[in-house]
Amino acid sequence: MSEYGFQGMPSLEAVKSMFSEKPDLSLENPAIKAHEKNARGFHIIDGYMNRDYAVPTDFVKYNYVSQLLQARGIQIAIEAHRRAKPYNMGTLYWQLNDCWPVISWSSIDYLGNWKALHYQIKRSFQNQVILTEEKDGILNFYAINDDLKKFDDVYVEMKVVKFNGEILNEISTVPDGKILKGIVQFDPIEIENLIQDSNKNKVFLKLSLKDRNEKIIAESIYFFTKPKDLKLTKPNLKIKKISSTEIEISTDVLAKDVYLMGNTHFSDNFFDLLPKNSKRITLSKPLEKVETMSLWDTMN
């Protein structure tokens, strides 16, 4: 399947490079508008952003949500294509990079910075993934294997988790017999039976694909509503310095789409940090301070 894409804004550093003097970060700035060569570009971005996200008025937050929107759109496409194996055996998105600082379809901007899309591409194209598809109130589960190793007696362990980390339900599902080379489909589950009386805006589904030795092969998270409908609580994000080029970030509650800000390359970014969990991140060069943002900040 090729070629498809969706536009997103570049990094803040790339936006600032559009100016020869002090940057004026505003969506109404003619200089920024001039760096969007699709006549309907902002109209299309705003349309889909209104559908799925709370639309920020602050430029930095708008830039952040624009990148999340782009990553979400391409993730949906890639996962649909991979679930369609063996009818679809490849998926090629447009585009990799830019020749100038611009609002575009790229996943890497003009300065070489990874947009949210490129971090998501890395996750979406992992050799082994567990994917979820929702249809008519039913969840279908697919394990995709593009590794040389075959799946051996795999099953899916799933947990319904509140945003504060409380586990409300735990269940396992096994292959439903539709096993093809490179793809395994599992028994479907009705959402109502899974989340029971839980508010779907306040819970997520954590999926773990395991083998018969309990080894985790792949993990993923599934949300039951659009990002703008999630009833998020403010995460207490803490950053601990491990070395000059390594940090550890932790949270007390779900931190959705954690955005690490700074003029360096982060080994991971725009990721979900689960409640009472931490994650180590390497930096391409030291920073005195790493600033953070999460989706909660765009809703308040």
pLDDT tens sequence for the chain (300 residues) = 998 999 999 999 999 999 988 888 999 999 999 999 998 999 999 999 999 999 999 999 999 999 999 999 999 999 999 999 989 999 999 999 999 999 999 999 999 999 999 999 999 999 999 999 999 999 999 999 998 888 878 899 999 999 999 999 999 988 876 666 788 989 899 999 999 878 999 999 999 999 888 899 999 999 999 999 999 999 999 999 999 999 999 999 999 999 999 999 999 999 999 999 999 999 999 999 999 999 999 998
**pLDDT of amino acid 212:** 84
Count Cβ neighbours within 10 Å for each residue of 272-284 and write b for 16 or more, e otherwise. Answer: bbbbeeebebebe
Task: Give the amino acid at 277.
Answer: N
pLDDT of residue 21: 87
CA-nearest of 124, 121, 106, 93 to 2 is 93
pLDDT digits (tens, 9 = 90+) for 247-268: 999 999 999 999 999 999 999 9
Q: Which pLDDT score, from 0 to 100, does residue 277 have? A: 97
Question: Are 107 and 117 spatial neighbours (Cβ–Cβ below 8 Å)?
Answer: yes
| Domains of the chain (ranges, CATH numbers) | 12-124 (no CATH), 128-229 (2.60.40.10), 238-298 (2.60.40.10)
Q: For residue range 2-18, what is the model confidence (pLDDT) as tens digits?
A: 989 999 999 999 999 99
**Residue 241, CA distances (Å) to 236, 245, 250, 254, 294 in order:** 16, 8, 12, 21, 20
Measured CA distances, 144 to 71, 187, 224 (Å): 20, 15, 21
